[in-house]
Structure 1
Amino acid sequence: MLRRPLLAALAAPLVLPGAARAQDAWPTRPVTLVVPWAPGGSNDVAARLVAPMLAERLGQSVVVENRAGGGGSIGMGLVTRARPDGHTLLISSASNHVFHALVSPDLGYDVRDALVGIAMMVDVPNVLAVNPATGITNVQELIARIRATPGGMSFGSSGTASSNHLAGELFRMLTNTELTHVPYRGGGPVATDLVAGTIPMAFMNLPTVIGPAQSGRLRIIGVGTAERVRIRPDLPTIAEQGVPGYAVRSWTGLFAPRGTPRPIIDRMAEEMRTVLDAPTIRARLTDLASEPIFMPPAQTDAFVREEFDRWGPVVRAARVTLD
């Protein structure tokens, strides 16, 4: 009567540690966070902010790799084709994950099926900024200048079908003005040309421009969120400056190739939750005018599908096409 329980007790330790070792094997080499935009943009900033602490917690190096181009589709495509073993992940945004996907019929995959959510990370306000040499200080002055300029004015964004591009197209439609879109390969290059005066205005993510704005090298004249942002309550919204209904904001999230084992996704999600809750990270994000908005995997996937439903009609109405 005692032999069976005794044998089971002796056998149990032989099974459980093996299972634990299999589950804890990941990661076995450096983890790459692919950023599908040029260095200096808000997604790149977020990735480089969390990477060191993630590396400490995972016990492996976490490398940020910029793969810009194609409105974010080059980097995104690289991750969809990567081995689903948790070692190649995507730091994605509304721009490439939703907007560019909506206007790209030949990506070769459906983002919602090819990638799975690990965590929503950061909420990023969009802003409208101008070169100080224009003398423009508010949205109504900008609208007047655009209407007084033959052929309208040009605006920069981080790429065709990016959230910044859609922000400009929505502004054009709601103000009935003429604007010419100038796409770049990320937020960093846009800021550089805006400061240099190569372009007079741009729709950008607040973390990308807050430094140049504080030093006076460019001027933020409005935020694209429905309400003023907590970090800069002095900045009026575009809507309250005579453009009712205007509301655009971006986000940054972490995604994996479809087929990545659930234990890896769940562990990475919990590690990201811990990192985003760290006081030093939260303080730094606040300094960068971003808000941590952690969502677990299932909620992240649901959020992405809601974004497609929300922005599909806007993209069609703006007639956004790839250049």
Structure 2
Amino acid sequence: MQRRILLAAALAAPAIARAQESWPDRPVTLIVPYAPGGSNDVVARLMSPGFAETFGGKAFPVENRAGGGGAVGMAAVARGRPDGHTLLVSSASNHIFNHFVVPNQGYDPREALSAACMWVDVPNALVAHPSLGVSNVQELLAKVRANPGLGFGSSGTGTSNHLAGELLKMRTGIDMTHVPYRGGGPLLNDIVAGTVQVAVMNLPTVLPAIEGNRVRLLGLATSERLRSRPSYPTIAEQGVEGYVVRSWTGLFAPHGTPRPILDRLAETSRRLLDSANIRARLTDLASEPIWMGPDETDAYVRSEWDRWGPIVRQAGVTNT
């Protein structure tokens, strides 16, 4: 029996090698598990033409499969064929947070998906409507302590900006009420209108409103100031020590996708992220390249998983 298994593997090896060498032999779909216009979608469409050019004109179309806080599109890839022709443009919200917020999804992303690489870091921003009368984090904390229960908006339950708000509550002891929206677009409309006075949002989404003085930036949930926006303060430097909530965008494939394909995706991504035009566009979006290869990306995702599981459970966040 063992000899037959070894013989079958030996006979199959050349075919597998040829398949890897000919990849891609048809369009490669980049599945974004959110509606068009969000950070993941924008970055995917920024990278897609470079992939097509690199791989002989083979199309890398972006397909939006929204639903379930990213779970619908993610499941489509997790349960897909591991041949390198269906990939997931993933984020912390659907890849990590959503697993704890929506239990029993039927698979573990750490086992069902293989990392190709990390693309960019998407900062989370704490913002307020000017009518609230606060201009920094400490002023907000004082306002909330005087008015417990003040609402803060996010783009949805279980998203990175929702968890950023919950972590701020836990670290500072303030009492705020979560107001979930169906995405960053509707939330942006309401924070600009003053319907909700405080929000945590992906910085690229709210950046035009900040630069147009329609909302006030109170701080970023980053470990240090952005190179592209050095005047934007962090929340940590304003007295909430160690406060960091990263929202990233990375590329993943179904588990079992051959490693040479993952390596080619990673190396192509590294080259594209180093190109002047993509770097300039990411600077405009207030996002920064944080390229990592397959092993480093996988290790990072697992470390974030271990970090956020206890926080979500302690905060009691569910979406059932």
Question: Normalising to structure 1: TM-score of the pair?
Answer: 0.88
In structure 1, which of residues 99, 108, 112 is the aligned counterpart of residue 97 of structure 2? 99
Partner of 1:62, secondary structure, is: coil
- SS of the equivalent of 1:231 reads coil
Structure 1 counterpart of 2:6:
none
1:138 equivalent in structure 2: 136
Q: Does 132-141 or 278-287 show the bigger shift? A: 132-141
In 2 relative to 1, CA 155–19 (structure 1 residues): closer, same or farther, beyond 3 Å?
A: closer
Give per-residue Cα distances to partners, 1:93-136, cap 9 Å, x unaligned.
Answer: 11111111123321100110000000011112211012233332
Distance in 1 (alpha carbons) for counterparts of 2:310 and 2:61: 37
After TM superposition, give the deviation of residue 276 of structure 1 in Å: 1.0
Whole-angstrom CA distance in 2 between matches of 1:228 and 1:298: 27
Following the alignment from structure 1 to structure 2, what is the Cα–Cα distance between the partners of residues 267 and 261?
10
Instruction: Give the corresponding residue for 1:7.
Output: none
The CA deviation at 1:50 is: 1.0
Residue type of the alignment partner of 1:74: V
How do residues 265-280 of structure 1 correspond to structure 2 at under 5 angstroms?
265-280=262-277
Match for residue 110 of structure 2?
112
1:30-45 matched pairs, under 5 angstroms: 30-45=27-42
Residue 295 of structure 2 corresponds to residue 298 of structure 1: yes
2: CA distance between counterparts of 1:19 and 1:168? Answer: 47
Match of 1:189 among 159, 170, 186: 186
1:230-262 C-alpha deviation (Å, 9 max, x unpaired): 222212221222323322221111000112222
Partner of 1:71: 69
**CA–CA separation in structure 2 for the residues paired with 1:216 and 1:103:** 34
Asked if the contact 1:159–1:184 (Cα under 8 Å) also holds between the matched residues in 2, the reply is yes
Q: Does residue 1:226 correspond to 2:223, yes or no?
A: yes
Stretch of structure 1 that moved more, 269-278 or 135-144: 135-144
Q: 2:156 aligns with which of 159, 172, 175?
A: 159
Query: How much does 1:48 deviate?
Result: 1.6
SS at match of 1:255: strand
Partners of 2:275 and 2:142 lie apart in 1 by: 45
Q: Which runs of 5+ in 2 are unaligned?
A: 1-14
Larger Rg: 1
1:154–1:200 contact (8 Å) kept in structure 2: yes
* CA distance 1:189–1:63, change in 2 (3 Å): farther
Distance change >3 Å, CA 22–CA 126, structure 1 → 2: same
2:11 matched residue in structure 1:
none
Take 1:63 and 1:197, find their aligned partners in 2: how far apart are those partners?
A: 37
Between the aligned partners of 1:146 and 1:72, the Cα distance in structure 2 is 31
Aligned to 1:56: 53
Aligned residue pairs total 306
**Does structure 1 retain, via aligned residues, the 8 Å contact 2:26–2:58?**
yes
Cα deviation digits, residues 53-110 of structure 1 (max 9, x gap): 1121122222222222222111111111222222211111111111111233211001
Q: How far apart are residue 19 of structure 1 and its match? A: 9.0
* Residue identity in the other structure for 1:90: L
The CA distance in 2 between the partners of 1:180 and 1:222, in whole Å, is 19
Q: Is the 8 A contact 1:68 1:186 kept in 2?
A: no
Structure 1: how far apart are the matches of 2:189 and 2:46?
Answer: 21
For residue 26 of structure 1, report the CA deviation from its aligned partner: 2.1
For 1:49 and 1:218, locate their aligned partners in 2 and report how far apart those are by CA, in whole Å.
27
In the alignment, is the contact (CA less than 8 A) between 1:265 and 1:297 conserved in 2? yes
Equivalents in 1 of 2:16, 2:132: separation in Å? 65
Report the Cα offset of residue 21 of structure 1: 6.0
What's the TM-score, normalizing by structure 2? Answer: 0.89
1:213 partner SS: helix
Identity across the alignment (%): 63
Q: Quick check: 1:318 aligned with 2:315?
A: yes
In structure 2, what residue type is equivalent to 1:147?
A: R
Q: Are 2:20 and 2:258, in contact at CA under 8 Å, matched by a contact in 1?
A: no
